[in-house]
């Protein structure tokens, strides 16, 4: 503790803290430019100078720790005049173009000049000037305005780790920019725009569109991945065409004339809220254009004579209700299935399952995807809800699968940061592209696609052989150890090279690092558990984590799926075999719900082909576009008698539908979503609906009402427009681990759902047969499905901003392989596998391993799914020009 | 009492008043403005009339869509949307003033850093439709015709009244011009 005197006020503070932090906490304002709490100290802007008794010169408070007995003055005449002089220096070269600068209104230089500077400057000569240069597709650089605070370059060094922006030249010629002025390729570059205290780095997508004081800010949650970053959506009323309109925002009124519409103009990170710290990935930051898009569904559509035509809500709803009722009466409730998506909110999903269980009377509900998990596996995933905070502080991080990097960039960014800044041991094991961590990973393992289970088996084997498990497994839990070991007979570490393409040393040292870590974390995403063996993989992962003790204090496992609210929809019981709160179907607690297990997505497709399934209700998903075997799904859906789709766009699935109902985006509705940690967070309404749509749960409530059933609010028929509060009340009553969740309790940072009450079953044996690496002389390369950071679903495919950001459908070939085939960037090549061929543009990279070709699967126009034969397994291929 | 009665009956007050009127009619200068039939008043230089958008020597808009006018306007009259033109300059794609609400306080003109929005001398924009008083960018550019000419301010100019299919207009012919006072 230290006793310091701040402007004559004595305060007790912890020794070693910065004067700046202490003074700000005590309520004294100290202006800064270069200082940022989450970045390293630079102390170059000299705005934060303070006077300390006994020190001859003024000291930078952002770099000086407090000491006992210090007497600090923050407003002495010397300090005030130093600030004014410093601002005069900064304004020597800073152009006075505030009227055209997008930063004006939120510019630190503008604010501080207004507050501290003396009027007029003494500089009378020419200002230093640079050319304006575009930096990539999202950023415009006006380097004349730069005050060299180096927040951007420090961010790129310390946080994102991609060195996208750096200092070029020195002194008067200092310019922030990319090496050789090359276009920037980074997932996090948008953050530098937000960090820039002046208008030197501005967003091209926001450029000149609005002044910041016109924007209406709403704090909400990013829908683009399961991390659930807190964002501030900023919207504005803009005129539809260049016609008249009233600008009345600052009068607090809605526009009086009709021809206006509200648009989201930018998203910014809500720093320090929820899981967010400075950073958003560019997918979240720029992925709002689809909301403003004109191709959104505008009104309900009904199929007449084979064509979808616009209709009214009454007509469409009554058609859905009567059709579902008649199919239920004729063919039984089991002939109706429902699929939803991991994007919809908890309220949407809760009402959806309630509709199916209480009104239709079936458990046929599922989320389509690359994997479908039964109740026991999903319960295992509950134990793998680590916290993002852990990644930041962990000393050993293992990343399994490349989708962690592409689907949840923020999590892998934190992993890279932990490795770079704190020396954490970062190990990556990937089949395909190693997107973010190639420069920072201490060890990179390359397994063969399809051998995920073998990788886990090998790690478990190494843990058991090296006695690296928790102490208790040597003693009283020996039996459980034996249970796990029983399944590993097929795994011999000596054969591993042949099996999954992994070196024994690597596996052993990885197992040792994980075991020796005082704070370890294992991250895995969608692509690691995808495929037919997903249940076994999850169970094997659970066994491994149990052995290592990665269930709390020592380490954590984090499952990071791509879908924004996948965890929440699992909690809401979107599954054929469990109810909200993971209550097993058919158990005593299940109550009135149907007693028989329903069909999951993998069973629905053949059931649709066989005619067992007659109707499908689709909420916010597009299985025809996202399935790994599109033709099969499309043919199956074509055989259905009746399809209802509620979505934002005319998706491929919606084109097959009999009734299409327009839904609303995350920005137009309130509700709750649950992130990968189990943190329940609030969505807020950023703008009034742009189309005649309804919230997903409202549509289902209306369908239920048309069917004569009271659905919501404890079966008490009430029509409330903004009824999320009532739905949430019911959720918290029904789902035990959401018992504490209310809108007030969620608050600013979200509320962790408490899953500790849900008991895990004992460890089970998972029979692991080693994956045998196949070899074929004619097909020497491993073809691996890859993903694009910016495009990961039907919203992003229709987002102009993200389409611009995306590098496009590129086939990634390792540099040395490319050289062997005589390829250079931009060549058009053909990838051939036994299942099919694909033509595309090649991009050479060092981010993948030799012998691997990564084919993007989330560019629908590329139809790359044909290469893999609809399966998630090892695929061999070759390149041809 | 009786005097009052006779004054009332024989309209003495009225005749006295009429006498004054006739005397003024013959002895004083006529100051009635023959508007709109023969004359039109050109207001003084500080008159805050119909707004217009100024252009520079090359005929390009001066406005940079900084929205300072919209910000300072106490009545929320002005709506602006910016865009980046081919030369990379910030320009308004929409600049609309709803003059129904305008109090002609002149703050927008004060705030403009580019001298783009100005008060002209115009005051004749009564219309039959609401839209007539909603000034879009095109109209504001046309309004430049009302730009103030320092030499002519505060004068009465000869004009003629025209009624055609476009509406009614008072067109200056400039044949005669004199100071009002």
Q: Cα A209 from chain centroid?
A: 27
**pLDDT digit string (tens) for A557-574?**
999 999 999 999 999 999
| Shortest alpha-carbon distance between residue A833 and chain B (Å) | 47
Please tell me the least confidently modeled range out of A76-80, A222-226, A471-475, A660-664: A471-475
CB A26 within 8 A of CB A50: no
- Give chain A's domains with CATH numbers: 2-75 (3.10.20.740), 93-203 (3.30.70.20), 212-287 (no CATH), 301-367+567-752 (3.40.50.740), 376-562 (3.40.228.10), 781-880 (2.40.40.20)
Contacts of residue B89 in chain A, CB cutoff 8 Å? Answer: 100
Cβ of B68 under 8 Å from any chain A Cβ?
A: yes
Report the alpha-carbon distance of residue A774 to residue A451 in Å, rounded. Answer: 11
Report yes or no on B133 lying in a domain. Answer: yes
**pLDDT digit string (tens) for A834-871?**
888 889 999 998 888 888 999 988 888 888 888 887 77
Q: Are residues B96 and B164 in the same domain?
A: no
CB A831 within 8 A of CB A857: no
pLDDT at residue A144, as a whole number: 92
Report the alpha-carbon distance of residue A92 to residue A131 in Å, rounded. Answer: 18
CB A384 within 8 A of CB A542: yes
Residue A695 pLDDT exceeds 50: yes
Residue A253 pLDDT exceeds 70: no
Task: Give the pLDDT mean for A114-143.
Answer: 87
Q: Cα A628 from chain centroid?
A: 22
Closest Cβ opposite residue B98 in set A100, A208, A246: A246
Q: Are residues B53 and B101 in the same domain?
A: yes
Report the alpha-carbon distance of residue A54 to residue A63 in Å, rounded. Answer: 17
Report the alpha-carbon distance of residue A244 to residue B132 in Å, rounded. Answer: 11
Which positions ≥6 away from B20 have C-beta within 8 Å?
Answer: none
Instruction: Report the 10 Å Cβ neighbour count for A21.
Output: 18
pLDDT at residue A714, as a whole number: 45
Report yes or no on B131 lying in a domain. Answer: yes
> Which of B64, B66, B69, B95 has the most A C-beta neighbours within 10 Å, making it the best mutation to test the interface with A?
B66
Which positions ≥6 away from A733 have C-beta within 8 Å?
Answer: A714, A739
Q: Are residues B159 and B135 in the same domain?
A: no
Residue A635 pLDDT exceeds 60: yes
pLDDT at residue A500, as a whole number: 67
Q: Are residues B119 and B163 in the same domain?
A: no
Cis amide bond preceding B36, omega within 30: yes
Farthest-apart Cα atoms in chain B, separation: 89
Whether A245 and B90 lie within 8 Å, measured CB to CB: no
The three-state secondary structure class of A796 is: helix
Contacts of residue A246 in chain B, CB cutoff 8 Å? Answer: 76, 79, 98
Which positions ≥6 away from A709 have C-beta within 8 Å?
Answer: A358, A359
The domain in which residue B160 lies consists of: 27-42+154-181
Which positions ≥6 away from B112 have C-beta within 8 Å?
Answer: B68, B69, B118
pLDDT at residue A712, as a whole number: 52
Mean pLDDT computed over every residue of chain A: 88
Which positions ≥6 away from A231 have C-beta within 8 Å?
Answer: A219, A220, A221, A222, A267, A268, A269, A270, A276, A280, A284, A285
Cβ of B70 under 8 Å from any chain A Cβ?
A: yes
Cβ of A133 under 8 Å from any chain B Cβ?
A: no
Cβ of A246 under 8 Å from any chain B Cβ?
A: yes
pLDDT at residue A708, as a whole number: 83
Closest Cβ opposite residue A99 in set B68, B79, B84: B68
Report yes or no on B114 lying in a domain. Answer: yes
> Which of A210, A247, A266 has the most B C-beta neighbours within 10 Å, making it the best mutation to test the interface with B?
A247
Q: Are residues B177 and B103 in the same domain?
A: no
CB A639 within 8 A of CB A234: no
Cβ of A134 under 8 Å from any chain B Cβ?
A: no
The A residues from 50 to 69 touching B (CB cutoff 8 Å) are none
Residue A254 pLDDT exceeds 50: no
Report yes or no on B22 lying in a domain. Answer: no
Q: Are residues B111 and B178 in the same domain?
A: no
Report the alpha-carbon distance of residue A657 to residue A649 in Å, rounded. Answer: 12
Using CA atoms of A757, A758, A760, A761 in order, give the dihedral in degrees to the nearest 10: 120
Phi and psi at A7, nearest 5°, equal 50, 40
| Shortest alpha-carbon distance between residue B114 and chain A (Å) | 9
Which tokens belong to A702? 């209306």
Report the alpha-carbon distance of residue A638 to residue A845 in Å, rounded. Answer: 41
Cβ of B115 under 8 Å from any chain A Cβ?
A: no
CATH number at residue B62: 3.30.70.3270
pLDDT at residue B17, as a whole number: 94
Phi and psi at A525, nearest 5°, equal -120, -165
Report yes or no on B14 lying in a domain. Answer: no
Q: Are residues B87 and B138 in the same domain?
A: yes
Q: Are residues B31 and B59 in the same domain?
A: no
pLDDT at residue A502, as a whole number: 78
User: Which residue is closest to B71 within chain A, CA to CA?
Assistant: A250
What string of H, E and C letters represents the secondary structure of A103-166?
A: CCCCCHHHHHHHHHCCCCCCCCCCCCCCCCEEECCCEEECHHHCCCCCHHHHHHHHHHCCCCCE
Closest Cβ opposite residue B131 in set A104, A207, A244: A244
| Shortest alpha-carbon distance between residue B129 and chain A (Å) | 14
Confidence band for A98, pLDDT divided at 50, 70 and 90 = very high
Report yes or no on B166 lying in a domain. Answer: yes
Q: Are residues B110 and B180 in the same domain?
A: no
Q: Give the helix/strand (H/E) hosting A558.
A: strand A555-560
Whether B70 and A209 lie within 8 Å, measured CB to CB: no
Confidence band for A247, pLDDT divided at 50, 70 and 90 = very low
Report yes or no on B5 lying in a domain. Answer: no
| Shortest alpha-carbon distance between residue A134 and chain B (Å) | 12
Contacts of residue B80 in chain A, CB cutoff 8 Å? Answer: 247
Task: Give the pLDDT mean for A755-760.
Answer: 85
pLDDT at residue A180, as a whole number: 85
What sign does the CA torsion over B7, B12, B17, B20 have? Answer: negative
Closest Cβ opposite residue B76 in set A104, A243, A246: A246
Distances (CA, A) of A376 to A90, A382, A582, A600, B33: 63, 10, 9, 14, 95
- A570 sits in the region (left: phi over 0; alpha: psi -120 to 50; else beta) called alpha
Task: Give the pLDDT mean for B142-165.
Answer: 90
Q: Are residues B60 and B107 in the same domain?
A: yes
Residue burial A362-380, b: 16+ Cβ < 10 Å; e: rest: bbbbbbbbbbbbbbbbbbb
Q: Are residues B131 and B101 in the same domain?
A: yes
Closest Cβ opposite residue A246 in set B68, B79, B81: B79
Which tokens belong to A710? 């009271």
**pLDDT digit string (tens) for A430-488?**
888 876 555 677 888 888 888 889 899 999 999 999 999 988 888 888 888 899 889 88
Confidence band for A715, pLDDT divided at 50, 70 and 90 = very low
Half-sphere exposure of A85 (CA within 13 A, CB side): 8
Q: Give the helix/strand (H/E) hosting A802.
A: helix A800-805
Report yes or no on B15 lying in a domain. Answer: no
Which tokens belong to A116? 């501290």
Report the alpha-carbon distance of residue B107 to residue B94 in Å, rounded. Answer: 20
Report the alpha-carbon distance of residue A656 to residue A637 in Å, rounded. Answer: 8
Which positions ≥6 away from A823 have C-beta within 8 Å?
Answer: A813, A829, A842, A844, A879, A881
Q: Are residues B116 and B52 in the same domain?
A: yes
| Shortest alpha-carbon distance between residue A662 and chain B (Å) | 29
Please tell me the least confidently modeled range out of A414-423, A609-618, A714-723: A714-723
Contacts of residue B131 in chain A, CB cutoff 8 Å? Answer: 244
Please tell me the least confidently modeled range out of A319-323, A572-576, B125-129: B125-129
Task: Give the pLDDT mean for A800-808.
Answer: 88
Whether B114 and A99 lie within 8 Å, measured CB to CB: yes
Q: Give the helix/strand (H/E) hosting A231.
A: strand A230-239
Long-range contacts of B25-30 (CB under 8 A, 24+ apart): none
pLDDT at residue A637, as a whole number: 94
Query: Count of domains in chain B?
Result: 2
Closest Cβ opposite residue B96 in set A209, A214, A245: A245
Report the alpha-carbon distance of residue A126 to residue A128 in Å, rounded. Answer: 7
Cβ of A239 under 8 Å from any chain B Cβ?
A: yes
């Amino acid at each position: 503790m230290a006793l310091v005197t701040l402007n004559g006020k004595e305060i007790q503070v912890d020794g070693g803290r910065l004067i700046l932090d202490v003074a700000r906490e005590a309520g004294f304002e100290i202006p800064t430019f270069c200082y940022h709490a989450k970045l390293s100290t630079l102390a170059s802007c000299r705005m934060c100078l303070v006077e300390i008794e006994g020190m001859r010169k003024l000291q930078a408070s952002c770099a000086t720790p407090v000491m006992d007995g210090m007497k600090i003055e923050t407003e002495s005449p010397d300090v005030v005049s130093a600030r004014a002089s410093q601002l005069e220096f900064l304004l020597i070269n800073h152009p006075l173009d505030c009227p055209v600068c997008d930063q004006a209104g939120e510019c630190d230089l503008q604010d501080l000049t207004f507050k501290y500077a003396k009027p007029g400057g003494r500089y009378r000569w020419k200002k230093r000037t640079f050319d304006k240069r575009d930096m990539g597709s999202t950023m415009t650089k006006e380097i004349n305005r730069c005050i060299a605070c180096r927040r951007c370059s420090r961010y790129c060094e310390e946080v994102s780790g991609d060195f996208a922006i750096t200092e070029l030249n020195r002194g008067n010629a200092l310019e922030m920019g990319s090496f050789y002025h090359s276009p920037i390729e980074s997932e996090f570059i948008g953050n530098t725009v937000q960090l820039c205290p002046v208008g030197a780095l501005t967003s091209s997508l926001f450029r000149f569109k609005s002044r910041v004081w016109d924007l209406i800010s709403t704090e909400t949650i990013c829908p683009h991945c399961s991390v659930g970053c807190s964002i501030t959506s900023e919207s504005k009323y803009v005129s539809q065409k260049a016609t008249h309109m009233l600008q009345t925002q600052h009068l607090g009124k809605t526009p009086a004339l009709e021809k206006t519409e509200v648009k989201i103009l930018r998203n910014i990170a809500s720093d320090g809220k929820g899981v967010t710290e400075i950073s958003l990935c560019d997918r979240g930051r720029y992925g709002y254009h689809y909301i403003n898009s004109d191709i959104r569904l505008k009104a309900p559509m009904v199929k007449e004579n084979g064509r979808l035509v616009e209709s009214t809500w009454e007509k469409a709803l009554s058609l859905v209700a009567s059709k579902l009722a008649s199919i239920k009466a004729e063919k039984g409730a089991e002939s109706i299935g429902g699929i939803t998506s991991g994007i919809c909110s908890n309220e949407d999903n809760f009402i959806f399952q309630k509709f199916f269980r209480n009104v239709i009377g079936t458990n046929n509900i599922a989320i389509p995807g690359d994997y479908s998990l039964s109740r026991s596996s999903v319960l295992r995933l509950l134990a793998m809800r680590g916290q993002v905070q852990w990644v930041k502080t962990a000393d050993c991080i293992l990343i399994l699968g490349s989708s962690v990097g592409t689907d949840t960039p923020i999590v892998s960014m934190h992993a890279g940061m932990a490795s770079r800044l704190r020396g954490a041991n970062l190990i990556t094991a990937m089949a395909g592209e190693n997107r973010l961590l190639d420069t920072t990973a201490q060890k990179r393992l390359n397994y063969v696609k399809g051998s995920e289970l073998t990788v886990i088996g090998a790690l478990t084997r190494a843990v058991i052989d090296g006695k690296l498990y928790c102490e208790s497994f040597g003693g009283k839990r020996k039996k459980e150890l034996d249970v796990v070991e029983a399944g590993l007979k097929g795994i011999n570490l000596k054969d591993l090279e042949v099996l999954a393409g992994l070196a024994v040393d690597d596996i052993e040292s990885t197992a040792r690092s994980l075991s020796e870590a005082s704070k370890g974390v294992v991250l895995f995403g969608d692509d690691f558990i995808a495929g037919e063996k997903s249940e076994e993989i999850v169970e094997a992962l659970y066994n491994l984590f149990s052995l290592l003790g990665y269930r709390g204090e020592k380490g954590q496992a984090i499952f990071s799926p791509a879908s924004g609210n996948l965890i929440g929809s699992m909690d809401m019981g979107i599954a054929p075999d469990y109810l909200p709160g993971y209550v097993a179907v058919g158990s005593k607690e299940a109550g009135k719900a149907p007693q028989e297990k329903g069909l999951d997505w993998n069973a629905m497709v053949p059931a649709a082909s066989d005619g067992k399934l007659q109707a499908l209700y689709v909420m916010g998903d597009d299985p025809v576009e996202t399935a790994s075997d599109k033709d099969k799904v499309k043919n199956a859906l074509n055989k259905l008698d009746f399809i209802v789709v509620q979505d934002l766009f005319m998706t491929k699935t919606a084109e097959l539908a009999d009734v299409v109902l327009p839904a609303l985006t995350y920005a137009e509705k309130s509700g709750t979503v649950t992130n990968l940690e189990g943190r329940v967070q609030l969505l807020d309404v950023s703008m009034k609906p742009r189309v005649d749509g309804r919230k997903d749960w409202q549509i289902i409530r209306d369908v239920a009402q048309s069917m004569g059933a009271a659905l919501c609010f404890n079966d008490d028929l009430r029509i409330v427009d903004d009824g999320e509060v009532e739905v949430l009340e019911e959720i918290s009553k029904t789902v035990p681990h959401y018992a504490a969740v209310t809108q007030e309790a969620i608050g600013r940072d979200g509320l962790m759902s408490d899953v500790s009450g849900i008991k895990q079953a004992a460890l089970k044996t998972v029979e692991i047969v080693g994956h045998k690496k196949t070899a074929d002389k004619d097909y020497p390369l491993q073809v691996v499905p890859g993903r694009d950071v910016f495009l990961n679903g039907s919203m992003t495919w229709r987002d102009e901003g993200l389409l611009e950001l995306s590098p496009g459908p590129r086939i990634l070939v390792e540099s040395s392989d490319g050289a062997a085939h005589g390829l250079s960037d931009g060549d058009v090549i053909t990838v051939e596998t036994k299942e099919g061929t694909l033509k595309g543009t090649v991009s050479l990279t060092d981010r993948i391993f030799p012998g691997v070709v990564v084919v993007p699967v989330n560019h629908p126009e590329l139809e790359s799914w044909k290469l893999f034969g609809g399966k998630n397994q090892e695929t061999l291929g070759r390149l041809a020009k | 009492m009786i005097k009052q009665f006779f004054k009332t009956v024989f309209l003495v007050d009225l005749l006295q008043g009429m006498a004054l009127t006739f005397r003024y009619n013959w002895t004083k200068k006529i100051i009635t403005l023959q508007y709109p039939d023969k004359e039109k008043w050109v207001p003084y230089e500080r008159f805050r009339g119909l707004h217009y958008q100024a252009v520079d020597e090359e005929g390009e808009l001066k406005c940079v869509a900084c929205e300072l006018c919209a910000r300072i306007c106490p009545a929320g009259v002005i709506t602006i949307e910016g865009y980046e033109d081919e030369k990379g300059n910030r320009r308004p794609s929409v600049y609309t003033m709803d003059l129904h609400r305008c109090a002609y306080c002149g703050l927008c003109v004060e705030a403009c850093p580019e001298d783009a929005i100005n008060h002209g001398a115009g005051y004749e924009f009564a219309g039959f439709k609401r839209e007539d008083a909603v000034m879009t960018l095109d109209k504001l550019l046309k309004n430049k015709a009302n730009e103030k000419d320092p030499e002519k301010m505060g004068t009465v100019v000869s004009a003629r009244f025209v009624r055609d299919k476009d509406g009614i207009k008072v067109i200056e012919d400039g044949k005669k011009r004199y100071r009002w006072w």
